[in-house]
Structure 1
Amino acid sequence: MVTIRDVANEAGVSVATVSRLMNNSGYVSEQSKQKILSAIKKLDYIPNEIARSLNKQSMKILGLLVPDITNPYFPSLIKGVEQCALQHGYMLLLGNTEGQETIGENYLNFFKQYKVAGLIKIDGTHLDTPEDVPTVSLDRMNDQDQFAVISDDFYGGELIGQTILETNYGSILIMTGPMDIQVSKMRLQGIQSVFDQYKIDYQIYSTPSFQTEFADQVAKEIIRDYPNIDTVIAPNDIYALALIQAWNQLGSIIPEDVQIIGYDGIVFGAYAHPSLTTIEQPAYKIGYQGTELLLAIINQQIDPEMSKIIQVKPRLLKRNSLREVK
């Protein structure tokens, strides 16, 4: 591997002179500059960014915490983060927390070793993020978060309630996500605001997790415990698709026997049988705007002592898992 010393020898200058040019940290004559640049090109030298950062406050790296990399919703969000970061010369370190704070804390310690310039967390847990590292929450947030870009989950819940009211809904089961996560509370409150207004009866089932690994187990419990339910509101698309698969295997006809609506808008919902009606969150937009917000904080364009919460609107994707409008 070519080193900075190799570049110095090729250019006929000192290592210190090469270092000053690479780090823009002192005077280098135009003649020496041209020799060094020619040597870098000839030797195909790639600077070691980690080594160069050791005496700096931070690197051009962003840390990104994701709760479940297997959930198809998050790659679109991550893509938005990544493309915005790359456009501004930043790279990503990705940590999959599996929804566990202990794993998240381990990744935070790892990110600190790499002196990340900023942190993006798609988590919603009460992780103790470093005060000296600018942090933006995406999709999920808690009451302590100062900066966030999130979907308007209350509005998403309202969309669900209004959409269900337009069908022959019968008995209704609302499946929520974990109630210690704010998105679960806001979606439920949005649904209830519609149903309670029209005095619609419903039952509530709280899932222990949004994690995909529990979807099949929860689907079996729903079918066992609610055999005569007519309408199910799923906490996300993965759980909705697990229920559709389970009902199909039992010979139930969707949406005639039971109808279902999901949440997130993942691409696989379009390929289910029947295709899944859902509330689509603008995942890419959330990721991109969240990264723009983080970079604005890093570049001191926003006061880090202030607070800024950006909400984006989800939308209804009408497909075939709900009955025709009554």
Structure 2
Amino acid sequence: MVSIKDIAKHAGVSISTVSYALNGSPKVTPETTSRILAIAKELNYIPNAAARQLKKQESRIIGAFLTDFTGAFYGDLLQGMKEVLNRKGYDLIVCSGLQSHRLLPERMIDGAIILDLTFSDEELLDFADRGHKLVVLDRELNHPAVNEVLLDNKAGANLAMDYLIQSGHRKLYVVTGPKETFDSRQRMIAVRQTLDRHPEVTAVVLDGDFNKGSGEAAARVIIDEYDGPVGVFCLNDEMAIGLHNYATAQGFRIGEHISVVGFDDIDLTRYLQPRLSTIHYSKHRWGAMASEQLLRLIHGESVEHERIYVSLVEGESVSRVNE
């Protein structure tokens, strides 16, 4: 591999002169810089990124840490992150798994966006104490080096529950996500608050796992207990799709026998018949906002925590019930 020492030998100058020229320093005349760059190109010189990173104390790379890559959720989120970072001269790498955590202490990245359950709060606060800049999408952390860009989960769950209740449903099922996830916990807090306001409504909570399989499992329970129209709030769209497909295959009509509301407004819901009612928010904006906030932290600018707002998409999967 060609080094700056080889370029210096060919150019008949010192190693420091080559280094200055390659980094665009005014300490070298334009003529000498042009000659050195031409020799570097001729020799197919490739800069040593690791050495440059040590010198400048930056990599111009941001890490997005995800628990896993399953489901149809992440594409727009990551694209939003990437577009902002690329405009500002940064690149994005997407990481998952415990071994990837070392990218922060080894300073292989300049900062991190966290949507990853394998990080504990204590681990992230330790990183922040050591000066690492972080944006979290899946928890609340109080630290000056950490910014929160959180989805308004409670508002979304309230919208979904109110929609079913205002449609006349007095018997509801709620299909949860994993208990350890921030989104599921926040949505269930709002579910219980809504039920407290409506003592006339009975609700059965079914454990789910944010995947189609747990939606199918919930559908089996609902069908076994079925004695008339019911409303179902699935805490994400993947489960709502699983429930929708299973119930339809068993001869139940969504929007008539079973009314369903999901959460996330993923692209697949647009192809369901009837169209799924769901909670919408911009995943692209969420990712973009996370990147913007992280870059502000890295550049020492003041930031406030941000909230991504939600809205209800009404579909034919919910019908009105005569009270």
Same fold by TM-score, threshold 0.5 exceeded?
A: yes
Q: Over residues 117-151 of structure 1, what are the superposed CA-to-partner deviations in whole Å (9 max), with x where a residue is unaligned?
A: 1011112552513232101012x114456411111
How far is the alpha carbon of 1:32 from its aligned partner?
1.6
Query: 1:316 is matched with which residue?
Result: 312
Query: 2:101 is matched with which residue?
Result: 108
Distance in 1, Cα, partners of 2:71 & 2:139: 18
Answer yes or no: is 1:123 the counterpart of 2:116: yes
Alignment CA distance shift 1:301-1:197 (3 Å) = same
**Aligned-pair Cα RMSD in Å:** 2.6
- 8 Å contact from structure 1 (residues 50, 114) kept in 2: no
Q: What amino acid does structure 2 have at the position aligned with 1:150?
A: L
- 8 Å contact from structure 2 (residues 174, 232) kept in 1: yes
- 8 Å contact from structure 1 (residues 76, 283) kept in 2: yes
Aligned residues: 309
1:46-65 aligned at under 5 Å gives the runs 46-65=46-65
- 8 Å contact from structure 1 (residues 155, 190) kept in 2: yes
Distance in 1, Cα, partners of 2:320 & 2:8: 74
Q: Which has the larger radius of gyration?
A: 2
Distance in 2, Cα, partners of 1:5 & 1:274: 68
1:221-260 aligned at under 5 Å gives the runs 221-227=217-223, 228=226, 230-260=230-260
Query: 1:156 is matched with which residue?
Result: 156
Distance in 2, Cα, partners of 1:8 & 1:276: 66
How far is the alpha carbon of 1:49 from its aligned partner?
2.2
Q: What amino acid does structure 1 have at the position aligned with 2:120?
A: H
Distance in 1, Cα, partners of 2:150 & 2:142: 14
How far is the alpha carbon of 1:251 from its aligned partner?
1.8
- 8 Å contact from structure 1 (residues 57, 115) kept in 2: no
Alignment CA distance shift 1:274-1:300 (3 Å) = same
Alignment CA distance shift 1:167-1:38 (3 Å) = same
SS in 1 for 2:305: strand
- 8 Å contact from structure 2 (residues 255, 319) kept in 1: yes
- TM-score (ref. length: structure 2): 0.85
- 8 Å contact from structure 2 (residues 176, 234) kept in 1: yes
Distance in 1, Cα, partners of 2:218 & 2:299: 49
- 8 Å contact from structure 1 (residues 161, 192) kept in 2: no
Query: 2:293 is matched with which residue?
Result: 293
Q: What amino acid does structure 2 have at the position aligned with 1:205?
A: L
Alignment CA distance shift 1:233-1:11 (3 Å) = farther
How far is the alpha carbon of 1:179 from its aligned partner?
3.0
Q: Over residues 33-84 of structure 1, what are the superposed CA-to-partner deviations in whole Å (9 max), with x where a residue is unaligned?
A: 2223344555665534234213442311111101231221111111111111
Q: What amino acid does structure 2 have at the position aligned with 1:316?
A: L
Identity among equivalent pairs (%): 25
Q: What amino acid does structure 2 have at the position aligned with 1:133?
A: H
Q: What amino acid does structure 2 have at the position aligned with 1:117?
A: D
Alignment CA distance shift 1:31-1:162 (3 Å) = same
- 8 Å contact from structure 2 (residues 170, 202) kept in 1: no
Distance in 2, Cα, partners of 1:87 & 1:6: 34
